[in-house]
Structures are given as C-alpha cells and as structure tokens.
C-alpha cells in the first residue's frame, strides 16, 4: 500500500492550514447554506438547493468546511457533511474506496475512509471493557456517513475506548483492497451468519502488533477448513481486543450495506478496528 506522507505529517497539515484541493465535483445532499467564510457564524451568501453541483477549491484545515465554486461561478464555504460525490458505487467489497481516492482527501497517507483512525494505536494502552456481540449490535450509530466531512473524522464517543469481544469466527477475508483482514464474528456457533459484527486487523506494516494478531488468529483457525469465500467450518471461538470503530461509509437510509454479510442494521456498522491482539476466550 502506498503512503505518500507519514500519518503524523498529514494530520498536522489538516489541522493547521487550509489546503488547496484538486478540482472535484460534489453535490449537496440537502438545502445548505453557502457561507462567506469557513464557520457556522459567517454570513450566508445564499442557500444552495439539494443536488446542486459545486467544485471543491479548498479545505479549511479543520476537516469541516470546504470552499467551493457553484455552477454560477459563486464562491463560498459549505460544511462537508452535506457534500458527496455525484455517484457513490454500491459495492460488495472495500474495492469501492479505490474509486473514492480521486474525490476525497487522504487521511493518514492512504485514500480510504477514516484511514488514520482505522490504523491508530491510541486505545491500545487502555483497559479493555468486555462487550457482547448482541450489545454491540444495538449501540446507537454515530453521525458519520459517505459525506466529505466524515471521510477524515476523528474518533469520538465509544470509538475512544478499547473493548474485548468474544465470538465465533464465521468468515475471514484476507485480500481486501485496503490490506485489512476482514473477520466476521457471531455470538454463537449456530447464529445466522448475517447477525455478525466485523473486526479488522490492519496491515502489519503499520505495527508489529497487527502481525502478531494475524498469526494468533491463524493459529486458532488451524483445525478448521476455509472456503474460497473465506467461510470457516467449523466456526472457532476467539476473543478480539481492539478499539471501537463506526464505519459509517457503509450506511444508507435503510441500514447497512456492502459490509460483508453483517447488514442487519446500522448497529452492524460498529466494528472492532483496529484489532490489537487475539486470544483464546
């Protein structure tokens, strides 16, 4: 995986300076204010209608407001929460983020949704709190989606905590476009495979703990067969330690989508990501 700049440098750039952007077309998701500056307190130039196309010019540095030019050549600032690309593919795998790389800013040196947060080790020193899979599936969703502001959003709420989740591994996909190991886990060996949560183990190039976690998972799965789709038979019970993470990119108005088989509800968008370690229950 290419990483043009180290994560700490990119984060500093985003937080401390307005950044020019490649000219990209986005559309408004609702009626939204076109402001004279990058703040909710700035005067309003005019209201943009839902579906208006704008060209990105600059990011404010906070990751919230973006300077845009309308189709009428007006310039102003719009909150990124209300801007999405004209077309977002509804894919079955994470390969769709390769499409998005041209439209969204880089986070942590890679063009993937909330990448800095997905590979962050900030919660690895915290005491893990045990949480069951049914409880996790009922956590309230965060206000994060496919919009421009969500792409680089920092951790918040439950994402600032570390958790221990025990469950039965039902599928392991090791060839994801972003380099993560995608693991689907259910609360019992007999649970519907769709009633699962996702845990993700990042590429070991980010930290040796990810390599150790992958090795530990492989060791636990040695007695089971794995299909070409990654289905594990028989399922194996494993405990994962890692940070909570809400993968809002997979959200839609009707629930989760394109998130492996774990599509039962928006609660299924809560993951353990990244996984710091793997053990027997």
Residue 236 sits in the same domain as residue 169: yes
Residue 260 sits in the same domain as residue 134: yes
**15 in any annotated domain:** no
CA atoms within 13 A on the CB side of 258: 18
**74 in any annotated domain:** yes
Residue 152 sits in the same domain as residue 252: yes
- How many residues are present in the chain? 281
Quick: pLDDT tens for 110-134: 778 899 999 999 999 999 999 999 9
Residue 257 sits in the same domain as residue 218: yes
Quick: pLDDT tens for 15-68: 334 445 555 888 999 999 999 999 999 999 999 999 999 998 887 766 689 999
Closest CA to 27 of 74, 78, 96, 91: 78
120 or 253: which leads in pLDDT: 120
Q: Which CATH number characterizes residue 33's domain?
A: 2.30.30.40
CA atoms within 13 A on the CB side of 19: 18
Residue 239, SS3 per DSSP: strand
**231 in any annotated domain:** yes
**6 in any annotated domain:** no
The confidence band for 109, taking pLDDT boundaries of 50, 70 and 90, is: confident
Residue 116 sits in the same domain as residue 62: no
Overall number of domains in the chain: 2
**159 in any annotated domain:** yes
The per-residue pLDDT for 255 is 55
β-partners of residue 58 are 20, 67
**106 in any annotated domain:** no
Straight-line distance from the first to the last Cα atom of the chain, in angstroms, rounded to the nearest whole number: 33
Q: Which of 38, 64, 84 is the last residue of a domain?
A: 84
Instruction: Provide the residue range defining the domain that includes 69.
Output: 25-84
DSSP 142-188: PS--SSTTGGGPPP-GGGGSEEEEEEEEEEEE---TTSPEEEEEESS
**10 in any annotated domain:** no
**274 in any annotated domain:** yes
The per-residue pLDDT for 9 is 32
Which H or E element spans position 135? helix 133-137
């Amino acid at each position: 995986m290419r990483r043009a700049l180290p994560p700490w440098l990119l984060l500093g750039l985003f937080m401390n300076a307005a950044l020019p952007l490649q000219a990209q077309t986005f559309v408004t998701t609702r009626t939204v204010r076109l402001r004279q500056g990058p703040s909710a307190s700035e005067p309003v130039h005019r209201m943009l209608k839902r579906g208006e196309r704008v060209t990105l010019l600059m990011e404010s540095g906070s990751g919230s407001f973006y300077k845009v030019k309308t189709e009428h050549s007006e310039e102003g600032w719009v909150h990124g929460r209300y801007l999405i690309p004209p077309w977002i593919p509804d894919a079955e795998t994470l390969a769709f983020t390769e499409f998005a790389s041209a439209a969204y800013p880089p986070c942590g040196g890679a063009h993937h949704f909330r990448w800095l947060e997905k590979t962050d080790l900030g919660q690895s020193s915290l005491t893990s709190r045990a949480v069951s899979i049914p409880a996790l599936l009922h956590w309230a969703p965060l206000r994060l989606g496919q919009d421009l502001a969500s792409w680089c959003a920092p951790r918040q709420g439950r994402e600032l905590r570390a958790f221990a989740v025990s469950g039965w591994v039902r599928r392991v996909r090791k060839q994801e476009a972003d380099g993560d190991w995608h693991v689907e886990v259910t609360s019992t060996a007999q649970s519907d495979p769709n009633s699962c949560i996702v845990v993700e183990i990042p590429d070991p190039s980010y930290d040796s703990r990810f390599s150790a976690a992958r090795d530990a998972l492989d060791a636990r799965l040695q007695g089971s067969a794995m299909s070409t789709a990654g289905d594990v038979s028989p399922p194996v019970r494993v405990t994962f330690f890692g940070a909570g993470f809400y993968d809002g990119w997979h959200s839609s108005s009707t629930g989760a989508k394109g998130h492996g088989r774990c599509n039962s509800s928006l609660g299924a968008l809560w993951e353990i990501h990244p996984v710091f370690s793997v053990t027997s229950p």
